[in-house]
Amino acid sequence: MSVCKACGRGIWFITMKSGVAMPVDDNPVPFIPGAGKRKYITEDGCVIEGKDWHKGDEGPMDMGYISHFATCPKAEQFRKRGKRDGKNDGG
């Protein structure tokens, strides 16, 4: 496990299918696949849309991780400038 340099919360990295390492919150959460628009990341690097599972919910439940970019209060400082505002850093 690692620690987010910005907020100090526990994170770890999942290698996405694209080969990019995605920071995720350190605890997996239960979710219902296909039932919502929230994105969950599986240990094998897949992204699945669904909704949070709550006690009493029916239907298949799976476990996934939430991108730390979605929960970190300081995530903006890690976004790539060129992707955010359309500018290129020149490098």
User: What is the CA 2 to chain-centroid distance, rounded?
Assistant: 15
Residue span of the structural domain in which 53 resides: 2-72
Q: Which residue has 């907020």 as its token pair?
A: 7
Task: Count how many domains the chain has.
Answer: 1
Model pLDDT, residue 88: 43
Q: Examine residue 89 and state whether it is found in any structural domain, yes or no.
A: no
- Which residue positions in the chain have pLDDT lower than 50? 82, 84-91
Q: Which residue has 């994105």 as its token pair?
A: 39
Q: Examine residue 91 and state whether it is found in any structural domain, yes or no.
A: no
Q: Examine residue 83 and state whether it is found in any structural domain, yes or no.
A: no
| Distance of alpha carbon 15 from alpha carbon 71, whole angstroms | 19
Q: What is the pTM of this model?
A: 0.78
